[in-house]
Copies of this chain bind each other. A is one copy, B any other.
Amino acid sequence: MWYYVDPHSGIPIYVQLKEQIKKAVATGLLTEGEQMPSVRELALQLTINPNTVAKVYQELEREGVIQTARGLGSFVAERRKDFGLQQEGSLDSALEKLMVEAYQLSVDADTLYERFVKKLTTWKDRLWKGVRDNEPGH
């Protein structure tokens, strides 16, 4: 297991773990349907409290990243198939945030564009490629 949390980093443990799992799902380290380690098991490996892991799993389920069931375990959920108004809004906020950050970093527009395109290239295969439910099929 490649998770790692630092209790003294200033960032809450449950936030650190949640971000790592979300990134693992996004990059494909965790695949759809794959079983997550149990609450107790992961807590043991990271030497943190089971309650902290449970909190992470609950939030991840609320965000649609995993699905969980008593007695069964937790599993990586299927990715959402819709890209609706709410997602549009979230994407716009994320882009806005990026621009504010870019201003602060004194990046010029050309460099920002170049870095974005480069990053997008490495992610292209991971981003959405399927057919939307509400789209006419190919």
Query: A63: which of B82, B104, B117 is its contact (CB, 8 Å)?
Result: B104
Copies of this protein in the complex: 2
Interface size on A, residues (CB 8 A): 45
A44 within 8 A of B: no
If over half of A's interface residues share one DSSP class (helix, strand or loop), that class is named, otherwise mixed; here it is helix
A6 within 8 A of B: no
* A102 B91 Cβ-Cβ under 8 A: yes
Query: Quick check: which of A31-39, A46-54, A67-75, A108-116 contacts chain B, the rest being far away?
Result: A108-116
State the A residues within 8 Å of B (CB): 22-23, 25-26, 63, 65, 79-83, 87, 90-92, 94-109, 111-113, 115-117, 119-120, 123-124, 126-129
